[in-house]
Amino acid sequence: MHLIQDDWRLVVYYDINPYWEGTKAANKYIQYLQTICATIKDHSPCDGVMYQLNHQYSDLQQYNSKWLGQQFDVNMRQRRRRRGLINGIGNIANSLFGILDSNFANKYEQDIGLIRENEKHLIKLWKNQTSIIEAEFNLIKRAEFIMNKYHKTINKKIMELNSSVNILRSELQNNSYITDFTLSAMITNNILHDLRSIQDYLLDTITDVFHGKFSVHLLHPEQLQQELSIISTNLPRDLCLPNDHADLSKLYKILKVKAHLSKEFLIFEIRIPLITRDSFEIFKVSFFYSKTGSKEHGQHFTYK
């Protein structure tokens, strides 16, 4: 048996800006489609499409409000302060519900910014038994490129539409609008589908944390193994990782995780137990009763 003497804080963060950029792109596309729909001579068919897309976008925004714990508009200008995942539910209760203390979360956000600017700060964190990494195997990071592409496409289309306002609206032009509407509607539907997938992905990860489960989505086994190698080379002589850390399935079970969400980052603090190098042998376990008020509780007492 080994005693847990300390822990290493591994901070994993998701940059959720691509998600917000995707939401803005979806809103731009919907506004563009509304303009095209109003331009088409017989626009009754496109009205039904617009109703469905608006419903999907509204549903997306509604779920944003739920899993964020507060309301955001597309530009995130209006904020309602509410107890929830953002800023936790108070610094006292954070240890009970898997919510990261807002004070620690603010410090980690500052550390993330410093790491991006100065690699020397990373060495300083290692000395304090803390490491910070960006999750590499997550859906948001993979979606960042395509969201940027969507932004460029819709901005180009808006410019083209503005330049053709004064063109004679002939049947040929009307057919062109219909084709453009159809293609843009398909793109908008794909964006909304991707955003909903990201939303479900984040919600599942956060829910697992609150239920005391460690999601593999949070930290991929390959990435965890790399971080364990870094941690082991930066530990004091009297501390080490658990002996079974090579078996990740066992290690996942003893990790403690807390979460915090800001406008830019979804932050998870993962605590990895550090044990002493001395080992102990248990040779006798005794059972005794302790009384609290009017209730008796059975407890084990261990002799070493």
pLDDT tens sequence across 30-48: 999 998 888 887 767 788 8
Q: What is the mean pLDDT of the chain?
A: 72
With a cut of 70, say whether residue 159 has pLDDT above it: yes
Position 302 scores a pLDDT of 45
Domain count, the chain: 1
Residue 282 maps to a domain: no
Mean pLDDT, residues 91-117: 60
72 located within any domain: yes
% of the chain at pLDDT higher than 90? 7
Q: Return the pLDDT at 271.
A: 86
Q: Evaluate if residue 95 carries a pLDDT over 70.
A: no
pLDDT above 60 (res 71): no
Residue 302 lies in a domain: no
> How confident is the model at residue 27, as a pLDDT?
93
Average pLDDT in the 163-181 region? 69
Q: What is the value of pTM for the model shown?
A: 0.62
| Structural domain contains residue 290 | no
Domain that holds residue 96: 4-276
- Residue 304 located in a structural domain: no
How many whole angstroms separate alpha carbon 74 and alpha carbon 198?
A: 16
Residue 56's pLDDT is what? 92
Q: Is residue 297 part of a domain?
A: no
Flag whether 296 is in a domain: no
pLDDT at 282 over 50: yes
Q: Which residue has the higher pLDDT, 96 or 56?
A: 56
Q: Does 158 reside within a domain? A: yes
